Chains A and B, each alone.
Chain A
């Protein structure tokens, strides 16, 4: 971008000298990007975004290798690759790593990098808290990794059901370390959440009202609000559990009446919103990429947002549908069946909104769009199979089987699909380099084929109980197909890493906005953006993004029409 020396259509001449000088001074406090010290001391949201994304990809590989291990074990109906307790550790750690240390953090990484740019903020509200939140995340993950070497790590499933979670049954030091790692992770999430909430509510550009917030920012806002309340329940559960494990209390002991049920309530009160916490940012990426690559504004945008807000609220009222077979009574089952169906309906609206956005479009099959489109297909399949689980009578039979495993992988890894689209979408912005489009398409093809080969057979042999390695020999061919799919899926990630690293080194320089029809503010600044993000104070007050400098001049970003904005009402933030 050449804002600094190109006269803009409105005649204004952009010389944000003061801002640039200030930015330079700020950045001088930090070592250069090539220095390792920079990454240890940085508080800049873009640096921390990169740290989050890279670290989460490390944990993706970690959790993925564990998955390949147990998929290899499932090659035969009586697999012997891992001893029983190691198998349980593999499935438990896979779930915990993917849900906590990969899915949420990669979204938070995008949020860190993109949200301030989208809303016109220089940084998050509390940059040092942001750094704290990242380092808590990293160290919690490392603590979890260390737990593998402390006898045994967590082997009680990612749901940590009581009373298996007390030392009587899982006595190893590693299991306690895993619980403490989770607690530390919750601290990271809470600190980060407060930061995002403050930033999005208080630091938006002039004229950027809630109705006008870019959809990715909307999804992040709802995500962090859900995090704030959901993770509080998890923290409560973890504090009690830690007391049981470390100080000898007996809240969740076998002899504690109701202790077991208490855990399921606390866990699922967190656990169900968590599903949307990991899925919403993916939805945001889908909304952004559908808009950009179809060249169409989201259909029914207002209703899309309302639907998301409804889901965020309702997500706290469905948790007992994970407990239909516990001792809860018929009235409660009825209520939670109703709320469960209720929460599925806003998603129908969002799915249709995305589909109809394609109509009259000018669709370009770039890698980010392919991943987003694929994600929508997978999410629809996940949604349809979810309705099966909403029928309580069917749920009774599906409980604890591969139907559940297949369903939530279609939903959650469907979300991952969109997030990979997000990696490709924002890679030019973050690195200043274009990725290799051909390799990107190869990546998508392998990913999509591998994904369906891995998870679809699980619907076919859904009668297989979860987390067992001895199953009906009649199911063997389908499980072998799934294992082959798992390895293809794994290879697709090797292609992705190769593409990203190769492009980082040899890729063509990315322009400020490599995508036609992108609208949001991150594309109006250089790739990568300057340290202080914008060449002036961003404002939408005159109906169009412009940057105001201190001497009263303003200019619009290159490539945008100055006559585009007629909607000149300057609505205040609140």
Chain B
């Protein structure tokens, strides 16, 4: 694995040298949209070409009763199963498709490295929120120990989420910000997003978790930094014990 990743790092530097603009970076939505659009355009093109070619040939070589186009070299009942010719064309098409697929995926891999490395949330001032899924809702714990059922975050400040579950397997996602991760009991997963738009959004469960799964949503409110600070100063940890009250400043994750 080290060899593989080492090679990839070298490749990444090479790509960066060619031009940093090639690898999509930025918020989760920006990254998703850029890659999705390229895939969609190429996928549509490939689909049209391949299916068009199929339809053209199935029509061209339909049986119209007349002359045989293949010199009568047709399969016969009872012959030993064997292949037909045309291997050259087969391998050319195969090679072409392999090149397209491998380059596309490799291209997105650099974005994966960016995303996994913390992406835009790899900064000192990122807000860390612990998320715990339960049947059927979400609980958010802020750095000061305060817990809420509504996720409130300041606009444009990257948010790191550390997600787990207190009962069954859930999956936490905020579709508006293209962020999603599994909520697994006994395990934590982490992810990040940048709430770059003010307003009210929805967090939702994406893994079947019981009868309330369809309703397992919670509001996500993106506020201005100032409004958020006001709100945050007024929160406090439940069952505050004087000895372990964290300072009301925002801490960065360890």
A361: chain B residues at CB < 8 Å are 61, 69-70
Whether A356 touches B108, Cβ cut-off 8 Å, given contacts A291-B75, A560-B77, is no
Question: Interface size on B (CB < 8 Å)?
Answer: 87
A-contacting residues, B67-124, CB 8 Å:
68-70, 74-87, 89-91, 93-94, 97-98, 101-102, 104-105, 108-109, 111-113, 115-116
Q: Does A518 contact B (CB under 8 A)?
A: yes
Stretch at the interface among B147-155, B181-189, B226-234: B181-189
B-contacting residues, A187-233, CB 8 Å:
207-208, 212-215
Looking at the assembled complex, report how far the CB atom of B64 sits from the nearest CB atom of chain A, in whole angstroms.
9
Partner of A380, one of B47, B108, B112, B166: B47
B5: chain A residues at CB < 8 Å are 331, 334
Q: Does A114 contact B (CB under 8 A)?
A: no
Complex CA distance for A323 and B171, rounded to whole angstroms: 11
B168: chain A residues at CB < 8 Å are 161, 163-164, 169, 254
Would A345 and B98 count as touching, CB distance under 8 A?
A: yes
Would A352 and B94 count as touching, CB distance under 8 A?
A: yes
Name the residue of chain B whose CB is nearest to the CB of A544. Answer: B78
Looking at the assembled complex, report how far the CB atom of B200 sits from the nearest CB atom of chain A, in whole angstroms.
14
Complex CA distance for A513 and B91, rounded to whole angstroms: 34
B-contacting residues, A17-73, CB 8 Å:
none
Complex CA distance for A215 and B214, rounded to whole angstroms: 45
B50: chain A residues at CB < 8 Å are 351, 355, 380
Complex CA distance for A349 and B74, rounded to whole angstroms: 23
Partner of B61, one of A363, A469, A543: A363
Would A557 and B77 count as touching, CB distance under 8 A?
A: yes
Would B108 and A467 count as touching, CB distance under 8 A?
A: no
Would B101 and A352 count as touching, CB distance under 8 A?
A: no
B68: chain A residues at CB < 8 Å are 362
Would A161 and B81 count as touching, CB distance under 8 A?
A: no
Q: Does B128 contact A (CB under 8 A)?
A: no
Q: Does A299 contact B (CB under 8 A)?
A: yes
Name the residue of chain A whose CB is nearest to the CB of B34. Answer: A393
B-contacting residues, A248-297, CB 8 Å:
254-261, 291-292, 294-297
Looking at the assembled complex, report how far the CB atom of B85 sits from the nearest CB atom of chain A, in whole angstroms.
7
Partner of A261, one of B75, B86, B184: B184
Stretch at the interface among A177-185, A395-403, A421-429: A395-403
Interface centre among B75, B78, B171, B181 (most CB of A within 10 A): B78
B20: chain A residues at CB < 8 Å are none
Complex CA distance for A401 and B68, rounded to whole angstroms: 49
Partner of A519, one of B39, B75, B115, B214: B75
A341: chain B residues at CB < 8 Å are 101-102, 105
Would B186 and A376 count as touching, CB distance under 8 A?
A: no
Complex CA distance for A360 and B91, rounded to whole angstroms: 18
Would A325 and B54 count as touching, CB distance under 8 A?
A: no
Name the residue of chain A whose CB is nearest to the CB of B29. Answer: A397
Would A396 and B80 count as touching, CB distance under 8 A?
A: no
Would B58 and A300 count as touching, CB distance under 8 A?
A: no
Q: Does A567 contact B (CB under 8 A)?
A: yes
Would B89 and A260 count as touching, CB distance under 8 A?
A: no
Partner of A301, one of B76, B84, B171, B173: B84
Name the residue of chain A whose CB is nearest to the CB of B70. Answer: A360
B-contacting residues, A233-258, CB 8 Å:
254-258
B31: chain A residues at CB < 8 Å are 393
Would B58 and A540 count as touching, CB distance under 8 A?
A: no
Would A161 and B213 count as touching, CB distance under 8 A?
A: no
A363: chain B residues at CB < 8 Å are 58, 61-63
Would A524 and B78 count as touching, CB distance under 8 A?
A: yes
B109: chain A residues at CB < 8 Å are 334, 337, 392
Q: Does B1 contact A (CB under 8 A)?
A: yes
A331: chain B residues at CB < 8 Å are 1, 4-5
* Contact flags B211-228 to A (C-beta < 8 A → 1, else 0): 111110000000000000
Complex CA distance for A335 and B113, rounded to whole angstroms: 13
Would B80 and A327 count as touching, CB distance under 8 A?
A: no
Q: Does B167 contact A (CB under 8 A)?
A: yes
Complex CA distance for A341 and B62, rounded to whole angstroms: 35
Complex CA distance for A353 and B92, rounded to whole angstroms: 11
Would A298 and B61 count as touching, CB distance under 8 A?
A: no
Would B204 and A162 count as touching, CB distance under 8 A?
A: no
A567: chain B residues at CB < 8 Å are 80
Q: Does A88 contact B (CB under 8 A)?
A: yes
Complex CA distance for A250 and B40, rounded to whole angstroms: 45
B1: chain A residues at CB < 8 Å are 331, 334-335
Whether A556 touches B90, Cβ cut-off 8 Å, given contacts A88-B208, A156-B208, A164-B210, is no
Q: Does A344 contact B (CB under 8 A)?
A: yes
Would B108 and A352 count as touching, CB distance under 8 A?
A: no
Would B105 and A296 count as touching, CB distance under 8 A?
A: no
Would B43 and A384 count as touching, CB distance under 8 A?
A: yes
Would A397 and B32 count as touching, CB distance under 8 A?
A: yes
B241: chain A residues at CB < 8 Å are none
A121: chain B residues at CB < 8 Å are none
B62: chain A residues at CB < 8 Å are 363-365
Whether A352 touches B90, Cβ cut-off 8 Å, given contacts A297-B83, A358-B57, is yes
A518: chain B residues at CB < 8 Å are 75, 77
Complex CA distance for A349 and B97, rounded to whole angstroms: 9
Looking at the assembled complex, report how far the CB atom of A521 sits from the nearest CB atom of chain B, in whole angstroms.
7
Complex CA distance for A467 and B215, rounded to whole angstroms: 11
Would B51 and A400 count as touching, CB distance under 8 A?
A: no
B-contacting residues, A540-574, CB 8 Å:
540, 543-546, 556-557, 559-561, 564-565, 567
Interface centre among A207, A255, A359 (most CB of B within 10 A): A359
B208: chain A residues at CB < 8 Å are 88, 91-92, 156-157, 161, 164, 466-467
A-contacting residues, B31-60, CB 8 Å:
31-32, 35-36, 39, 43, 46-47, 50-51, 53-54, 57-58
Would B180 and A517 count as touching, CB distance under 8 A?
A: no
Q: Does A520 contact B (CB under 8 A)?
A: yes
A169: chain B residues at CB < 8 Å are 135, 167-168, 210
A364: chain B residues at CB < 8 Å are 62-63
B171: chain A residues at CB < 8 Å are 325, 399-400
A-B contact sample (11 more), CB < 8 A, given A88-B211, A467-B208:
A256-B186, A295-B70, A303-B90, A349-B90, A384-B47, A387-B101, A390-B101, A391-B35, A393-B31, A396-B178, A565-B79
B-to-A contact residues, CB < 8 Å:
1, 4-5, 8, 28, 31-32, 35-36, 39, 43, 46-47, 50-51, 53-54, 57-58, 61-63, 68-70, 74-87, 89-91, 93-94, 97-98, 101-102, 104-105, 108-109, 111-113, 115-116, 135, 166-169, 171, 173, 175, 178, 180-182, 184-189, 204-215
A-B CB contact pairs (8 Å), 7 listed: A84-B214, A256-B186, A260-B169, A334-B8, A341-B102, A352-B94, A387-B43
3 tightest A-B CB contacts, nearest first: A301-B83, A400-B206, A545-B78
